[in-house]
Structure 1
Amino acid sequence: MNTVDWQTRFDTWMTQHFNHGDIAHDISHFRRVWKTAQTLMHGEQADELVVLTACYFHDIVSLAKNHPERHLSSVLAAEKTATVLAQDFPTYPVSKIAAVRHAIEAHSYSSGIAPQTLEAKIVQDADRLESLGAIGLARVFAVAGSLGTALFDADDPFAEERELDDRAFALDHFRCKLLKLPASMQTAKGRELANQNADFIVQFMAKLGAELRGDFQRLDEDILTRFASQVH
């Protein structure tokens, strides 16, 4: 059975069995992460089936951002994936399950588990790229809305005189996590794409900063200078 056939089977299983309330980690997310992973795999000697499986199942358990055990999500997802593969996909190669589990465990930012294989590095990069660019922006504010988080601190939106707090303000999440992602990328192509998309995040911040001053025609050059240097 080739990779396309396995993807079809995983897609069907997810449609029938997966119903997660988190709009940032739905089946569309799994499909996008796999598509990105295919770009990152180009020219690499990676095991496509391991990468595909991890992309589709990496968030099968995804605890809410404000859950006290959020950092355990990827380990729980890896355990559940192994069970699902054994029970519902009996022809899945048993020899690949350990590699799939590691790729899933290591994908999470909050878990702190370092990827040890090429497949795990590709899955981690593909998932983190989803957090940057236009989709990343949409996800940040969608999740903020679901959690009742303020968009930004109206008195100090860019945290010039306070500590960053992305549990209270969605905009703070850009600096708490998103702008740090390019430095964490594991593959050369992943770093290239992450830097490009992080630049887009900074452009958005600069546009927001200008609009908050009543200027809808330009970007805030100070914000561009301050935060672009954090990316590169």
Structure 2
Amino acid sequence: MDISRHLAAFSPFEALAAELLPHVMDDAGDGSHDISHLVRVWNNVRRLQAQEGGDLRLLLAAVLLHDCVRVEKNSPLRSQASTLSGRQAAGILQALGWSAEQAAEVAHAVEAHSFSAAIAPRSPEAKILQDADRLDAIGAIGVARCFYTAGRMGSSLYDAADPQAGGRALDDRRYALDHFPAKLFRLSEGFQTATGAAMARAREETMRRFVSEMLGEL
């Protein structure tokens, strides 16, 4: 992929993006974790940082490297993905001349961004990255990513006999619609910043309207 087409999206750190993007370009065909995902998370970061503070250079490095080790959603190693990415991110940055301290800051933000890892973010940058990445999992984009990922994993849209799981346990590995009550509707409760929490509430309402409309059509 020609990374030069995408550098302007990471303004004002195009030079840093040019250094890091070759380490993270997706070769697995995952459209939910591709360059567009990185751009959206960066846009979220910029909105959050404007209100919450934080070092934008460290944040961009964390954004670009937060999924640098690819682990599929249905892999038994999924909960380790952010830890593996954090370690790799630190190595990449130190090889580029970053100090051990700065590399460790980025690595912590990367490690703490994941829902499944359940690592508490300690720094402003880690809190912002976690919020920015979770914002991309909800709202209209979250709906699109949910069904896209379900298709990649071979899941059904919903359980035709019991779409709302009234008489069975939720199973979002088998049914895409189950992923909303199982996880996506819960994400807005755990945001780290006030700005992120407000954005999350609005995006949750978008998802709830979609699910209500879908159930109505069923």
Common fold by TM > 0.5: yes
Which residue in 1 is equivalent to 2:27? Answer: 20
The alpha carbon displacement at 1:5 in A equals 5.5
Which residue in 2 is equivalent to 1:192? Answer: 198
Which AA in structure 1 matches 2:35? I
The alpha carbon displacement at 1:17 in A equals 5.8
Which residue in 1 is equivalent to 2:5? Answer: none
Does the residue aligned with 1:153 lie in a helix, a strand or coil?
A: coil
Does the residue aligned with 1:66 lie in a helix, a strand or coil?
A: coil
How is 1:1-232 mapped onto 2 (pairs within 5 angstroms)?
A: 4=11, 6-11=13-18, 13-15=20-22, 18-21=25-28, 22-87=30-95, 89-90=96-97, 92-212=98-218
Q: Is the 8 A contact 2:147 2:157 kept in 1?
A: yes
Q: In structure 1, what is the Cα distance between the partners aligned to 2:27 and 2:131?
A: 23
Q: In structure 2, what is the Cα distance between the partners aligned to 1:146 and 1:139?
A: 10
Q: How many equivalent residue pairs?
A: 208
**TM-score under structure 1 length normalisation:** 0.85
Distance of aligned partners of 1:112 and 1:143 in 2 relative to their CA distance in 1, 3 Å threshold: same
Does the residue aligned with 1:43 lie in a helix, a strand or coil?
A: helix
Q: Is the 8 A contact 2:44 2:132 kept in 1?
A: yes
RMSD: 1.7
The alpha carbon displacement at 1:145 in A equals 0.7
The alpha carbon displacement at 1:14 in A equals 1.8
Does the residue aligned with 1:54 lie in a helix, a strand or coil?
A: helix
**TM-score under structure 2 length normalisation:** 0.90
Q: In structure 1, what is the Cα distance between the partners aligned to 2:23 and 2:87?
A: 20
The alpha carbon displacement at 1:9 in A equals 3.2
Moved over 4 A (4+): none
Q: In structure 1, what is the Cα distance between the partners aligned to 2:103 and 2:20?
A: 17
The alpha carbon displacement at 1:43 in A equals 3.0
Q: In structure 2, what is the Cα distance between the partners aligned to 1:118 and 1:16?
A: 25
Does the residue aligned with 1:42 lie in a helix, a strand or coil?
A: helix
Q: In structure 1, what is the Cα distance between the partners aligned to 2:102 and 2:212?
A: 45
Q: In structure 2, what is the Cα distance between the partners aligned to 1:14 and 1:65?
A: 22
Query: Which structure 2 residue ranges, 5 or more long, are not aligned?
Result: 1-9
Q: Is the 8 A contact 1:30 1:57 kept in 2?
A: no
Which AA in structure 1 matches 2:40? R
Q: Is the 8 A contact 1:46 1:118 kept in 2?
A: yes
Q: In structure 2, what is the Cα distance between the partners aligned to 1:198 and 1:5?
A: 31
Distance of aligned partners of 1:97 and 1:17 in 2 relative to their CA distance in 1, 3 Å threshold: closer
**Cα deviation 1:49-90 (Å, max 9, x = unaligned):** 111111111011131111001000000001111111122x22
Which residue in 2 is equivalent to 1:215? Answer: none
Which AA in structure 2 matches 1:150? S
Q: In structure 1, what is the Cα distance between the partners aligned to 2:194 and 2:12?
A: 29
Does the residue aligned with 1:25 lie in a helix, a strand or coil?
A: coil
Calculate percent identity across the aligned residue pairs.
Answer: 40
